[in-house]
Structure 1
Amino acid sequence: MTSPVLSVQLYAVRDQLATDLDGTLARLAGMGLREVEAFDFVDKAPALDEAFKKAGLRARTGHASLMSEGLGLDDPAFKEGARSGPPTQQAVFEAARTVGLEIVIDPFVETERWLTEEAVLDNAKRLNDAAEKAADHGLRVGYHNHAQEFLSTFRGLTAYEFFAEQLRDDVVLEVDLYWAATGRQDVTALLGRVGERVRALHLKDGVVGANPFEPGAARMDPEKLDQRPAGEGELPLLDYLAAAPRTEFGVIEFDHYAGGHIFDGIEASVRYFNEHGLR
């Protein structure tokens, strides 16, 4: 089985970070984590860099919009959503270097831009252009999926895999396992097909429900998602890890955790992966 570095997406503790940055990071470090995945880092890069170092943490991956005029999410945790548009790529890459990132990952492109071949080709061009600019900063870029990328098929491939085929060799994928399953994918088979590009996995367990990103569906309500600590849901996460042998980062994440305090869910996941050799 592959042994990527265990990490946690800080979006899972967004509320706690907003009120106690140092205390939240210290608590994650106290679980044995040494890696985190950043989000909303552009306007606070120096403070985050200082806080990460204080807690003994690194953030080598992080989420920032690279392909969209906006994230398309009504979530105040993403300050870009309140702007006239997201930060410029130059600002993103400069902030990423400040924080210590190695890979900047676009976390969301709205459903409408996965429904036509023309739109998917445009998505790939935008990310390839970003990759060229990122390389000048010593950075890589990537894309993190939800479930809308699997709704359409072009040339015998899902929009997601068609998109992946258009990408430069240095562009990576971060596969969110829960959302790929929500997109009704055979996730093990999917990873077998795109695994050479996969450098990060969102290790998210739970019970898979309906796809909230289908056209005409109500906006996703995270509180309706049944996401659980690793090993307590229906997803064979260890099998998925084995199917993506080039993965560098295994990232714990919850869009929403209804099982109690979020730190309990993260810590249970950390214990599960530690027991199976991930640290």
Structure 2
Amino acid sequence: MSRPLSVQLYSVRDQLTADPEGTLRRLADLGYGAVEPYDVLADPEGLRKTLDELGLSVSGAHVVQLLGREPGAALDAVAVLGCDLAIVPAGIPPEDFTTYEGLARTADRLNALVGAADQRGLRVGYHNHWWEIEPRFEDRDGPHALEVLAGLLDPAVCLEVDTYWAAVGGADVPALLRRLGGRVRALHLKDGPGTKKDPNVAVGGGTMPVPEILAAAPDAWRVVEFDSCAGGPDALFDELAASHAYVTSLEAA
């Protein structure tokens, strides 16, 4: 994998609020070469300037505003950041992943974004949680809801698979990634005890089969994320540093 390791900025949301430039500099000092913003409308020009000064690229952006009535401004902001991947991270009711009708509605909402994204040189993506994985169709060993959705999506719509949430939802994550194949453009790498509420730990320090996951999606962006972390800010940055060291050691092997 030749791309730099990325980090989802939601991981350091409190630190960004207090000290945006200092937080980004600290991530760069840990060795991260890219970031994945989650608040693209705040000041995309200012963020792009700071990232350029620090030598950080943008792997993609989480843009919940894409599901609003006027997604154009959000797409424009993503384009300003210099990446080509605009990811819907939330905003679709979990119950829509429990029926074929709900999945069809979800696909229609995502497919409707393709034209406007393409005009800006962007690609739309979708990021999963556990509730897109837990429902299975046909029988208890049938495809996960996310797989059924993938079959309904325009080929231009890609996936960012949150590998931890996929495991929490009951998936064999490497096998899921192999079945989804080239639809997967990015991975969220996180680790922990495999539960819905407990804090995350450094990638490589929990239950996730990280080497097998990376091997199953060799061309996808690797994006480290912490939904939460036990301890204070210093503990979080220690865990981010350990995550970086572990993932980069696997990629170099």
2:159 pairs with 1:159: no
Conserved in 2, the CA contact under 8 Å of 1:259 and 1:265? no
Larger proportion of strand:
1
Return the alpha-carbon distance in structure 2 between the equivalents of residues 237 and 256 of structure 1: 19
3-state DSSP of counterpart to 1:227: coil
Conserved in 2, the CA contact under 8 Å of 1:161 and 1:194? yes
3-state DSSP of counterpart to 2:160: strand
Aligned to 1:29: 28
Aligned to 2:111: 128
Q: Report the CA distance between 1:228 and its aligned residue.
A: 0.8
Name structure 1 gaps, 5 residues minimum: 69-85, 212-223
Return the alpha-carbon distance in structure 2 between the equivalents of residues 250 and 56 of structure 1: 18
Return the alpha-carbon distance in structure 2 between the equivalents of residues 88 and 258 of structure 1: 38
Return the alpha-carbon distance in structure 2 between the equivalents of residues 50 and 4 of structure 1: 21
2:79 corresponds, among 86, 90, 97, to 97
Conserved in 2, the CA contact under 8 Å of 1:144 and 1:174? yes
**One-letter code of the match for 1:152?**
P
**One-letter code of the match for 1:275?**
S
After superposition, the C-alpha distances for 1:5-50 in whole angstroms (9 at most, x for unaligned) are 3100000000000011110011111112111011111132112111
Name structure 2 gaps, 5 residues minimum: none
Alignment of 1:255-266 (within 5 A): 255-260=227-232, 261-266=235-240
Conserved in 1, the CA contact under 8 Å of 2:4 and 2:32? no
Q: Report the CA distance between 1:151 and its aligned residue.
A: 3.0
3-state DSSP of counterpart to 1:200: strand
Q: Report the CA distance between 1:67 and its aligned residue.
A: 6.1
Return the alpha-carbon distance in structure 2 between the equivalents of residues 151 and 206 of structure 1: 18
Conserved in 2, the CA contact under 8 Å of 1:26 and 1:55? yes
Deviates more, 1:156-165 or 1:19-28: 156-165
Cα 1:66–1:153, aligned 2, differ >3 Å: closer, same or farther?
farther
Return the alpha-carbon distance in structure 1 between the equivalents of residues 55 and 187 of structure 2: 22
Q: TM-score, normalised by structure 1?
A: 0.83
2:227 pairs with 1:227: no
Aligned to 1:253: 225
Q: Report the CA distance between 1:139 and its aligned residue.
A: 0.3
3-state DSSP of counterpart to 1:207: coil
2:179 corresponds, among 164, 188, 193, to 193
Return the alpha-carbon distance in structure 1 between the equivalents of residues 57 and 228 of structure 2: 24
Return the alpha-carbon distance in structure 2 between the equivalents of residues 125 and 202 of structure 1: 24
Q: Report the CA distance between 1:60 and its aligned residue.
A: 3.1
Cα 1:5–1:55, aligned 2, differ >3 Å: closer, same or farther?
closer
Return the alpha-carbon distance in structure 2 between the equivalents of residues 42 and 121 of structure 1: 29
Return the alpha-carbon distance in structure 1 between the equivalents of residues 137 and 53 of structure 2: 48
Return the alpha-carbon distance in structure 2 between the equivalents of residues 190 and 6 of structure 1: 22
Identical-pair percentage: 42
Conserved in 2, the CA contact under 8 Å of 1:66 and 1:127? no
Q: Report the CA distance between 1:246 and its aligned residue.
A: 2.8
2:252 pairs with 1:269: no
Conserved in 1, the CA contact under 8 Å of 2:66 and 2:75? no
Cα 1:234–1:277, aligned 2, differ >3 Å: closer, same or farther?
same
1:173 corresponds, among 159, 162, 168, to 159
**One-letter code of the match for 2:215?**
A
Displaced runs of 4+ in structure 1, greater than 6 A? Answer: none
Q: TM-score, normalised by structure 2?
A: 0.91
Alignment of 1:68-79 (within 5 A): 68=67
